[in-house]
Chains A and B, each alone.
Chain A
């Protein structure tokens, strides 16, 4: 199966120097911060379609624009992954917002359609912001920074070693989490359900689910801490040795 690859010059992560990359990314994100073109587009659309609020078309247009800008940098598969997460989050937020409006009408404004518009705006905002923020983060390479730091000598080297160690620990946490997810998957083949779930049939869901959830979370946290802290002493020892050797090699 061949995967379509966008040309390198379209990828934001390849833009140099870094300030130009930052400027382009901020320009792309400007509609999210300012609502500037959305307002203008809405006003323009309302002239042609007076019976329809222009914002309903303007927000999806802005969202599509953001996706289009993110697409070459992320690639199709990854953008779809991010959109799956964004849709889940957006739908959960909007649906629970609508339910809350029914349960607690007092705290919402009397204008139901204004509330609905607010929820719709939140919906499109999440769909646009989620992939955008991940594109922003992925555009800057930590590995470039690290390879510069490991070659650095002089007074910045100690700071560089601290940063390199901190990033390595973060990477290690990034290794521990997928490992624990795999373990979780092995422990619970149906992912969320506890093993031998049929045996839980006789117990009220009001008891079994909170009980299972709390125990699982606490065990997860403990396992996560222990696995995260496990290699720290050896890693620190090595970085200390690198630092000391710097001191002994330093003519001063």
Chain B
């Protein structure tokens, strides 16, 4: 836990939108709010394009850590960052830096697009340290969200490095994040359990080789049980270390990644196999539409389903923010409304399972808890199970089954099931 030291300022925000506003105001670097709708996005972008370059050089950790990396792989990113500080960097310097932040040197030549959220964040830490001599300060958004608690120490290491160098740090976090000592996650009453049957028969996912602009060899990932779990109970949690393959597992279950051999099937008590997924970057699923436009598009031929989805959306929003007004006919003004709308659209179809990949990203701990709790409550009415994919320890208290993923070999992942 970081206390408010002399040169570290921790600012806490209720919403993602407020956090991004503050980031832009502090650094002068434009960062678009994806949930704000098309016209706001283009307005902001044009403003940036016509504006002036920020005078004060900052090292930044953006709300989405993938976006602060302007070169195609870790090696190039770190060599450039070290050169920025006037240091001639060799491979040994880069390797030392990357290992300091708990990453393997094998990721140095990988395209950044193949790294997980946690790995990207740690690479941002390494880059920020490399830039330290050149920049005046560090602005870090949600600097530990993507990390397992065991890896929070790397954030502390980075802070120490900047402190020793006499540089300021602005840490911008959402309410309930681990840097924010004022409030922690809320406790919710238990949700009634829903049994589900999960068959995992060594499913294998193949990833093709990447050629452009940096080479990355083809790879594969195979999942297997440590011991057969029998039934799992919704809401269940899929958890594991950074980069273990949680999101891949979710996509495999949802049928988005095709299985080359073996099988992974999950059904509810009615034998329904329809599985829907909310991505980590759920906002991309809205296709830059407002909640109302989105529901209209998806259910353009079914008034009945449209009405059902709209009712669910209003229920979710009302339960999460009874005191906050929103207008679902206008552009989607918040990440929260966007996520609620996507969940409502999926629930209206009454699938067997709804998977929520890192549902807490971009939400305060309180909002995330309320959203997931209410989603489970509504979903179980339809006999729809809910699976949460996250490394955040808070969800342990909430889930009834826990599927813990662990890498036992570079291409092998073992799943342990525990009933909570």
Chain A: residues with CB nearer than 8 A to chain B? 1, 78, 138, 141-143, 146-147, 150-151, 164-165, 167-168, 170-171, 174-175, 179-180, 182-183, 185-187, 189, 194-196, 199-200, 202-203, 208, 212, 215, 219-220, 222-223, 226-227, 229-242, 244-246, 249
Check: B154 CB closer than 8 A to any chain A CB. no
Q: A234 touches which one: B29, B256, B279 (CB < 8 A)?
A: B29
**A229 contacts B284, CB within 8 Å?**
no
Which B-chain residue is minimally distant from A139 (CB atoms)? Answer: B211
Segment at the A interface, from B9-17, B81-89, B226-234, B412-420: B81-89
**A245 contacts B84, CB within 8 Å?**
yes
Cα distance, A202 to B409, chains bound together (Å): 53
Cα distance, A208 to B302, chains bound together (Å): 13
Q: B54 touches which one: A138, A200, A237 (CB < 8 A)?
A: A237
**B48 contacts A174, CB within 8 Å?**
no
**B76 contacts A196, CB within 8 Å?**
no
Which B-chain residue is minimally distant from A175 (CB atoms)? Answer: B113
Q: B299 touches which one: A183, A196, A215, A236 (CB < 8 A)?
A: A196
Segment at the A interface, from B60-68, B178-186, B193-201, B371-379: B60-68
Chain B contact residues, majority secondary structure: loop
Q: Known contacts being A138-B211, A186-B285, A245-B134, is A233 close to B70, with CB within 8 Å? A: no
Nearest CB in chain B: distance from A200 CB, A: 5
Nearest CB in chain A: distance from B139 CB, A: 11
Which B-chain residue is minimally distant from A232 (CB atoms)? Answer: B45
Which A-chain residue is minimally distant from B215 (CB atoms)? Answer: A143
Q: List A contacts of B288 (CB < 8 A).
A: 219, 222-223, 226
What would 4 more interface pairs be, CB under 8 Å, given A187-B285, A195-B298, A237-B60? A150-B76, A215-B297, A231-B68, A239-B70
Cα distance, A230 to B64, chains bound together (Å): 11
Q: Report which residue of B29, B34, B64, B287 has the largest number of chain A beta carbons within 10 angstroms of its beta carbon.
A: B287
**A186 contacts B277, CB within 8 Å?**
yes
Check: B349 CB closer than 8 A to any chain A CB. yes
**A141 contacts B215, CB within 8 Å?**
yes
Check: B214 CB closer than 8 A to any chain A CB. yes
Q: Known contacts being A142-B212, A186-B254, is A238 close to B298, with CB within 8 Å? A: no
Q: B72 touches which one: A168, A230, A236 (CB < 8 A)?
A: A168
Cα distance, A54 to B137, chains bound together (Å): 74
Q: List A contacts of B256 (CB < 8 A).
A: 182, 185-186
Cα distance, A183 to B287, chains bound together (Å): 9
**B62 contacts A234, CB within 8 Å?**
yes
Q: B86 touches which one: A186, A215, A245 (CB < 8 A)?
A: A245
Tell me which residues from 83 to 140 in chain B have a Cβ below 8 Å from any Cβ of chain A: 83-86, 111, 113, 131, 134-135
Q: Known contacts being A1-B261, A168-B70, A234-B60, is A147 close to B76, with CB within 8 Å? A: yes
Which B-chain residue is minimally distant from A239 (CB atoms)? Answer: B70
Q: Report which residue of B45, B301, B305 has the largest number of chain A beta carbons within 10 angstroms of its beta carbon.
A: B301
Number of A-B contacts (CB under 8 A): 162
**B70 contacts A222, CB within 8 Å?**
no
Q: List B contacts of A239 (CB < 8 A).
A: 70
**A199 contacts B277, CB within 8 Å?**
no
Check: B71 CB closer than 8 A to any chain A CB. yes
Q: A187 touches which one: B211, B214, B298 (CB < 8 A)?
A: B298
Check: B292 CB closer than 8 A to any chain A CB. no
Which B-chain residue is minimally distant from A227 (CB atoms)? Answer: B284
Which A-chain residue is minimally distant from B54 (CB atoms)? Answer: A237
**A237 contacts B53, CB within 8 Å?**
yes
**A242 contacts B215, CB within 8 Å?**
no
**A151 contacts B300, CB within 8 Å?**
no
**B134 contacts A186, CB within 8 Å?**
no
Cα distance, A246 to B254, chains bound together (Å): 48
**A230 contacts B53, CB within 8 Å?**
no
Q: Report which residue of A164, A202, A234, A239 has the largest number of chain B beta carbons within 10 angstroms of its beta carbon.
A: A234
Cα distance, A244 to B56, chains bound together (Å): 12
Q: List B contacts of A179 (CB < 8 A).
A: 281, 284
**A233 contacts B30, CB within 8 Å?**
yes
Q: List A contacts of B297 (CB < 8 A).
A: 215, 219
Cα distance, A244 to B55, chains bound together (Å): 11
Cα distance, A186 to B257, chains bound together (Å): 10
Check: B41 CB closer than 8 A to any chain A CB. yes
**B72 contacts A171, CB within 8 Å?**
yes
Check: B380 CB closer than 8 A to any chain A CB. no
**B75 contacts A234, CB within 8 Å?**
no
Q: Report which residue of A167, A182, A195, A227 has the largest number of chain B beta carbons within 10 angstroms of its beta carbon.
A: A195
Q: List A contacts of B34 (CB < 8 A).
A: 226, 230
Q: List A contacts of B243 (CB < 8 A).
A: none
Q: List B contacts of A233 (CB < 8 A).
A: 29-32, 45, 48
